[in-house]
A and B are shown apart, each in its own frame.
Chain A
Amino acid sequence: MSDPTEAKTLSPADRSAEFVPVEGGNDDTSAGALLVTAYLVAWAVLFAFVVSTWRKQQSTLEKLSRLDRAISEGVPDKD
């Protein structure tokens, strides 16, 4: 029995211009829902990355200023 997700064999020239369904697949999912999901997921991933970078940067800046103060004043850092 053949693999239901096996791709049809196409020449490179055909593949460059065609979208060929995989055998055994189905396309009953709403195109609009897929489109909205793709755009939402993309912006959510980017937003999460920017927010996590910003938060890490803020905590590093705080740590830097604490260490700077401790070194310049010669007072041990309690945090």
Chain B
Amino acid sequence: MSKSTAFYALVSITALSLVGLICFVAFETPTAQMAAGGLAQKIFYIHVPSAYAMYLCGAVCFAGSVAHLSGESDSRNSVAQSGAECAVVFGLLMLTTGPLWAKKAWGVYWTWDPRLTTTLLSVLVYASIVVFRSFVGDGAAERRAAAAIGVLGTVNLPIIHYAVRLWGGNHPTVITNTGGGLKDPAMTQALFIGFFYFTLLAILLLWLRTRAVSLATQASLLEERAIAEELLED
């Protein structure tokens, strides 16, 4: 199978699973109890998977960063950078959908709960990588610095996961043997469709961004060559 066929197959399956998720959440999942936000609890089926997708992209950023620090290469740098960019996007999804649900379930959009605070910190770390790369250029030292932040940023991910178990706060632990409040099988099924959709979406976005970063690197190399051959003004 060619890369292009695989890419369009991935786009098609992702689009179908999105339609499946929306239909399932709209027509199959029951409305939760008022304490969980009633109808607003259905935000859960994109909120939790987007958190999971952020972890996934954070792990990709970590792997790319460690690989780049152990042996520098353009492809490893592209993977690290795209991981950070996609982690910011999924982090933003989580940080916008969560407060909208919290308004109904808790009565406020935001509270400085340990999990919310550590999540915000993590998104800011990944955003700092994106901003850093945009402003300081693409030299070897800048790439290494961004990779180092990528490694350090990932250290916070397990802290987010365990924050709710270790410290006080409002955020439920969500996925445990006893927690999450998923009393109806349709709720669990919708959550797993959400996980499936967001896994495909994360792979798709990582693919797109890695290719975009690789092309930009090729363009800057050609640009340097053109300048050296005096075909382009510095």
Contact = CB atoms under 8 A, between A and B. Distances in A.
Interface of A: 5-10, 12-13, 15-22, 24-27, 29, 31-32, 34-35, 37-39, 41-42, 45-46, 49-50, 53-54, 56-57, 60-61, 63-64, 67-68, 70-71, 74-77
A78 B63 CA distance: 41
- Consensus secondary structure, chain B interface: helix
A13 B178 contact: yes
Contact of B173 (A12, A32, A41): A12
A18 B172 contact: yes
A38 B100 contact: yes
A67 B228 CA distance: 13
- Consensus secondary structure, chain A interface: helix
Given A19-B35, A25-B106, A34-B43, A71 B225 contact: yes
Contacts of A26: 107
Contacts of A41: 96-97, 100
Contact of B171 (A15, A31, A54): A15
A50 B103 contact: no
A60 to B, nearest CB: 5
Given A10-B168, A63-B219, A19 B105 contact: yes
B179 A16 contact: yes
Q: Give the top 8 A-B pairs by smallest Cβ distance, nearest first.
A: A25-B107, A16-B179, A31-B39, A25-B108, A31-B40, A16-B173, A67-B222, A38-B100
